[in-house]
Amino acid sequence: MSIKVKQPGLLTSVQDFGRTGFASYGVPQSGVMDRYSAKIANLLVGNTEYEAVLEITMMGPTLVFEEEMLVALSGLEAVVTLNDKKIELLRPFEVKNGDVLQIKQITKGIRLYLAMNGGFQTEMKLKSRSMYEPITKTSALQKGDQLQIAEYRDTKEKTFAHLKYEAEKYASEAIEVYPGPEFDFLTDAMIDKLLQQTFSVSKNNSRMAYQLEEKIENNLKPILTQPVLPGTVQFTPGGNLIILMRDAQTTGGYPRIFQLTEESINLLAQKKQGDAIQFQLKNYER
């Protein structure tokens, strides 16, 4: 069973929960940027939360189905049509051979997740189907691709269709963080500035990292290259703050002042250029 990619959209890729255990070889974790939304999409079609899904950024794709399938889309808001008829998010729907699904535009947030009953069965590399070049041939879908999926298991009792999607939490500007390994290098004045400042997402945002627009004066000493993770906040000598995301490198040489919570990574993954954030520090007393 397969789906044909008629148009790939701006940036659409197959992702699951990523690769673990390969950081020592320099392999990024990858995986879905917003794990919460991806999990909801999978549960809506009766999958476990770990099945591979399509991660859709900003706009597109156009998909042609070649068999009967059960599909669900999760995210904040988007214009989606099936055979030119509007489709709602967060409600599973069946498609037939020849049906055409168009994700025309994401109108709130920037990422949408598409799950199929049984999950996508694309090539497994290093225990994951997540697309990341050069581990996989490409980092995104291409026009004409054929996506293999599992055979549709028609479940008559679709109790999974009543899940609650907590969309309201994505409206928050609060990004919860823990102290990072070099947090103690910061002065009280620097900590106050970092926690009181409202930052905005710069145009330099991607699956690898989000850079923030505003700068903070940085007098910290450089560090030797050290391990980093998705959610690590690096503080550059020039005063820029860089928040590493799912495709981040595995080591870095800038002080690691904060570490985002898992929920904060999900929240940030739906922020676009110009959106505001403010750090909230957990588990810290002066």
- Whole-number Å distance between alpha carbons of 260 and 278: 12
pLDDT tens digit sequence for 69-83: 999 999 999 999 999
Number of C-beta neighbours around residue 211 at 10 A:
17
Cα-based angle 198, 202, 205 (whole degrees, multiple of 5): 125
- The pLDDT of residue 160 is 47
The residues of the chain that CATH labels 2.40.100.10 are 172-281
Q: For 43, phi and psi rounded to 5 degrees?
A: -65, -30
**pLDDT tens profile 221-232:** 889 999 999 999
Report the run of H or E that residue 114 belongs to, with start and end: strand 111-116
Class for the domain spanning 172-281: mainly beta
Rounded to whole angstroms, how far apart are CA atoms 199 and 197?
A: 6
Q: Find the helix or strand (DSSP H, E) in which 170 lies.
A: none
- The predicted-structure confidence for 128-183, as pLDDT tens digits, reads as follows 999 999 999 999 999 999 999 888 776 555 544 567 899 999 999 999 999 999 99
pLDDT of residue 192: 95
pTM: 0.94
- Rg over alpha carbons for the chain, rounded to the nearest Å, is 20
Average per-residue pLDDT for the chain: 94
How far apart CA 177 and CA 43 sit, in angstroms, is: 28
Distance CA 45, CA 43 (A): 5
Residue 242's pLDDT is what? 98
Record the tokens describing residue 30, joined without a space. Answer: 């990858």
pLDDT tens digits, one per residue of 6-35: 999 999 999 999 999 999 999 999 999 999
For residue 222, say if its preceding peptide bond is cis, omega within 30 degrees of 0. Answer: no
123-140: pLDDT as tens digits: 999 999 999 999 999 999
Q: Taking 90 as the threshold, does the pLDDT of residue 283 lie above it?
A: no
User: Comparing 185 with 1, which gets the higher pLDDT?
Assistant: 185
What pLDDT shows up at residue 9? Answer: 95
Q: Which residues of 84-108 are buried (b: 16+ CB within 10 A; e: fewer)?
A: eeebebbebbebeeebebbbeebee
Tell me how far apart the alpha carbons of residues 181 and 255 are, in angstroms, rounded to a whole number.
Answer: 8
d(CA 249, CA 238): 20
